[in-house]
A and B are shown apart, each in its own frame.
Chain A
Amino acid sequence: MSTLLRSTAFRIALVFATALVATTYLVFALVYFEVYTGNVALVRSVLRDEATKARDAPVETLRRQLELRLTQDLRHIDYVGLYDAAGRETFGNVAPALRIPVDGATHLVRTAPPQPDAWQSENAIFVAERRADGGTLVLGRSLVYVDQLAGAMQRAFAAAIVPIVVLALIVGTIVSMRALRRLNAIQQAITRVMQGELEVRLPARGSSDDVDELVRAVNRMLDEIVRLLAQIKSVGDNIAHDLRAPLAVMRARLERGLAGSSEAQLRHLAGEALGDLERAMTTVTALLRISELENGLRRKAFAPLDLAAVCRDAFDLFEPLGEAKGLTMMLVAPAPVPVSGDGDLMREAIANLIDNAIKFTPAGGTVHVEAGLDAALVRVRDDGPGIAPHERERILKRFYRAESARDVPGVGLGLSMATTIVELHGFELRVGDARPGAVFDIVAGRAAAAAVAS
C-alpha cells in the first residue's frame, strides 16, 4: 500500500482528484450563490411591493387580508404585524422585541420562529411601511426554506464528493499506471541494453503517438549502434584473421632460418619474413582506412574534381601493368566529368577497379576505362570470365573473393575499398555483366540508377 501511495501513478491520480474536487466545489458554490441570492432578491421585491400596495388600504380590509395570509401560510414562513398610529399592535405574529426601521426598505433580520415550539432562530426578510392612516405595517418572510435548500445543496456536494474522489483516484491511478507501465517496460528494455543485451529493442505499441515515435527513433539508433559495433568487430576480426596467416608463415620462416646453419639462408628467410610483414601491414592499413572512410570523416576535404582526369591518372598508372600481362588497355575520356569529391580517394577507387579488371582478365583480353557515359560517370569493363550473378553483391564486401579468384594474389580489399570510397561520394558502385566479362559502373546518386548495368 505504501508503495502505491508513493507511486507516481497514485500521485498523478491524487492531483487529478484534487483538481476534480476543486472544480466540483466551484460549480456547487456558484449554483448555491445564484440560488440563494436569487431567492432572497425575489422575497425582498415581493415584500416591498406588498407593503407599498397596502399603504392606502383601509384597516379592516388589510386586517382580513393579513388574517387570510396567516391562515394560508401552511409553511409558517410569513410574518405580519399591524400597528395603529400610537404604535400598538392590532394584529400580527411578530415578536415585540423585533424592531424594524420604518423606511419601506427590506432588511435581513435574525429572528425567533413564529411558532413557540420551534426552537431555532432563523433568517428572515422584513419590511416596515408607514401607512396612510398613521399606523405601521410590518411584513416578513422567513428564509428558512432558502437556507434549507442551501443546506441540501451542501449535503449533496458532500455526498457527491466522496465517490468523485474515489472514482478520480481509481481512474487516475489506472490510467497513469498504464502509461507508467509502458515507461517501465521501456526503462527495463533500456536497462537490459545497458547491461549488454544489444539485441533488445524498446517495446512499441504500434500506434503513432509521441512515445511510440520516440521508441522507434531510439530503436533505429540502437540498430545503427549495433551495425557500427558489428563493423568494428569485423574490422578487428578481419585484422586478426589476416594478420595470423602472414605471421604464421613469418614465424615458420624465421624458425627455419635460425635452425639452419647457413647465414645466407638466414638472410634469405629474414628477407622473405620482412615481405610477409609488409603484406600484413598493408592489409591492416587498408582495413583501417576503409573503416575511417566508412565513418565519412573525409567528406570535409571535397572539392571540384574532374573524374575524366582522375581516370586518366589511374589509367596511366596501371596501363603498363595490363600491357605487361598481354592485355589491350583502352581509355575513353573525351570530356571533363565534373563532380565534387576527393581526388586522392577517387584515384584510388578507380585504380582499384582497373587493377581488379587487369587481375581477372586473361592474357589477350581487353580492359576498357570509360568516363562520362550517359549511363555512368565511370565504367571499367573487361572481357574476362565475368562475375556470376549471385556473387555480384558479395564481391563488394571485405575479404570476399569470388570462386574463380582463389588462385589470384591479393587480399580481397580492393573492391571493398572502391565501394566505400564511391559511396562516401554519394555515388553507387554497380556490378554488371558485359557479355562476356564484368562491368563496374560508378553511378551518380543512388536514385539515378535505374538504367545501368546492361
Chain B
Amino acid sequence: MTAASRPIYLYEDDSALAGEIVAGFAEAGLVIRPLPSEAEVMERAGAEGPSATLVMDRMIGDRDSLEIVAALRATGNRVPVLVISSRASVDDRIEGLKAGGDDYLVKPFAMGELIARVAALQRRADGEPRTRLVVGPLVLDRLARTVTRGSREIALLPREFSLLDYLMTHAGQTVTRAMLLEDVWNYRASTHTNVVDVHVGNLRRKIDAEGEPRLIASVRGLGFRLDATPHDGE
C-alpha cells in the first residue's frame, strides 16, 4: 500500500478551515475526507486502524477532542493522529502528545507544514525499522554509521548523520524546518535564524561532490526534500 492510497480523515468543526484543508490537500494530489461526527471518527478509526491517518481539531465545539484520542488509545487503536489546535502553550502540546496524539500543530499553520506532517505520520506508520536506507545512489548504514554515494564514502559529523538519516527516512517527502528542529535537534522553539538552512547547506556540500546532481531540494517557504531521482538545483 502506498502512502497516497491510505485514507486521511479530518475532524474539524470550523467549516472554513475544513474547506481550506480539503482544498490544500487536493492541490497536493491528496484526498482528505471530513468526518461529520465523533461517532463517525470512532467508526472509521475502528475499521481502518493504523492504515488511516486522522487530523483532528483540539476543540470541537466546547469539547476537548483529546478525549476522543484517549478513548481510541484505550481500545488499543493505533491510528496516527495529528492534533491541530490554537492552544499554543507548551503544556497544551505536551498534553496533546501524552493523550496519544502523534503530532501537534498549532494554528495558524502553513498548509505545506500540515501535509508534510501527515505524510510523515503515514510513513511512520509503515513501521518496520530498517538498518540500511537507500535513496538513489545514496546509502546510509545505521549500524556501521557510514554513508556512501555510489562508490564514494562520505564522512559526516554525528548531527549531519542524523539529519541525513531523517531526510532519507522521509525521502520523496517535504520535511519542514520545524520538523527538522524538533526531530533532529530536539529543539521545540521557533527560531528566526536560518540555522537549519546552514546545516542542510553543510550536508549538501558533503554529499554532492563537484558535478554531481543535487539530491536535497529546497522547498520554497517550507523546508527540504530528498529525492531518489536527482534534479538540478533551483
A interface residue numbers (CB < 8 A to B) = 271, 274-275, 278-279, 281-282, 285-286, 288-289, 292, 297-298, 301, 313, 316-318, 320-321, 324, 343-345, 347-348, 351, 355, 409-411, 414, 417
B211 within 8 A of partner (CB): no
**Contacting pair A313 B89 (CB below 8 A):** no
* B58, chain A: closest CB distance, angstroms: 16
Given the known interface contacts A271-B221, A286-B190, the answer about A317 and B195 at a Cβ–Cβ threshold of 8 Å is: yes
In the bound complex, what is the Cα–Cα distance between A297 and B93 (angstroms)? 13
Q: Which residues of B contact A411 (CB under 8 A)?
A: 192
Q: Which residues of B contact A285 (CB under 8 A)?
A: 88, 106, 190
Picked from A286, A321, A409, the residue with its CB within 8 Å of the CB of B198 is: A321
B75 within 8 A of partner (CB): no
Produce 1/0 per residue, B158-193, CB < 8 A to A. Answer: 010000000000000000000001000111111111
Q: Which residues of A contact B159 (CB under 8 A)?
A: 316-317
* A196, chain B: closest CB distance, angstroms: 29
Q: Which residues of A contact B219 (CB under 8 A)?
A: none
* A358, chain B: closest CB distance, angstroms: 8
**Contacting pair A274 B221 (CB below 8 A):** yes
In the bound complex, what is the Cα–Cα distance between A348 and B185 (angstroms)? 11
Closest to A291 in B: B89
Closest to B109 in A: A281
Picked from A282, A297, A321, the residue with its CB within 8 Å of the CB of B190 is: A282
Q: Which residues of B contact A410 (CB under 8 A)?
A: 192
Given A278-B221, A317-B159, A318-B195, 11 further pairs, Cβ under 8 A: A274-B221, A279-B192, A282-B190, A288-B89, A289-B90, A292-B91, A313-B187, A317-B195, A324-B198, A345-B90, A348-B187
* B216, chain A: closest CB distance, angstroms: 15
B interface residue numbers (CB < 8 A to A) = 88-91, 94, 106, 108, 110, 159, 181, 185-195, 198-199, 201-202, 220-221
Central interface residue in B106, B188, B193, B201, by most chain A CB within 10 Å: B193
Central interface residue in A313, A316, A317, A345, by most chain B CB within 10 Å: A317
Q: Which residues of A contact B187 (CB under 8 A)?
A: 313, 317, 344, 347-348, 351
Q: Which residues of A contact B202 (CB under 8 A)?
A: 320
In the bound complex, what is the Cα–Cα distance between A103 and B202 (angstroms)? 134
Closest to B160 in A: A320
Q: Which residues of B contact A317 (CB under 8 A)?
A: 159, 181, 185, 187, 195, 199
* B199, chain A: closest CB distance, angstroms: 5
**Contacting pair B192 A282 (CB below 8 A):** yes
In the bound complex, what is the Cα–Cα distance between A261 and B124 (angstroms)? 45
Q: Which residues of A contact B190 (CB under 8 A)?
A: 282, 285-286
Closest to A272 in B: B221
Given the known interface contacts A288-B88, A317-B195, A320-B198, the answer about A348 and B188 at a Cβ–Cβ threshold of 8 Å is: yes
Given the known interface contacts A285-B106, A348-B188, A355-B191, the answer about A275 and B221 at a Cβ–Cβ threshold of 8 Å is: yes
Q: Which residues of B contact A278 (CB under 8 A)?
A: 110, 221
* B234, chain A: closest CB distance, angstroms: 13
Q: Which residues of A contact B193 (CB under 8 A)?
A: 318, 321, 355
In the bound complex, what is the Cα–Cα distance between A410 and B159 (angstroms)? 26
**Contacting pair B198 A298 (CB below 8 A):** no
Residue pairs across A and B with Cβ atoms less than 8 A apart, 22 shown, are A271-B221, A285-B88, A285-B190, A288-B88, A289-B90, A292-B91, A301-B94, A313-B187, A316-B185, A317-B185, A317-B195, A320-B199, A321-B198, A343-B186, A344-B90, A344-B188, A344-B189, A347-B187, A348-B187, A355-B195, A409-B192, A411-B192
**Contacting pair A289 B195 (CB below 8 A):** no
Q: Which residues of B contact A275 (CB under 8 A)?
A: 221
**Contacting pair A289 B91 (CB below 8 A):** no
Q: Which residues of A contact B185 (CB under 8 A)?
A: 313, 316-317
In the bound complex, what is the Cα–Cα distance between A324 and B202 (angstroms)? 9
In the bound complex, what is the Cα–Cα distance between A346 and B23 (angstroms)? 39
**Contacting pair B90 A292 (CB below 8 A):** yes
**Contacting pair B192 A289 (CB below 8 A):** no
Closest to A344 in B: B188
* A116, chain B: closest CB distance, angstroms: 105
* B145, chain A: closest CB distance, angstroms: 17
In the bound complex, what is the Cα–Cα distance between A166 and B202 (angstroms)? 97
In the bound complex, what is the Cα–Cα distance between A317 and B199 (angstroms)? 8
**Contacting pair B88 A289 (CB below 8 A):** yes
* A79, chain B: closest CB distance, angstroms: 102
**Contacting pair A289 B220 (CB below 8 A):** no
**Contacting pair A292 B89 (CB below 8 A):** yes
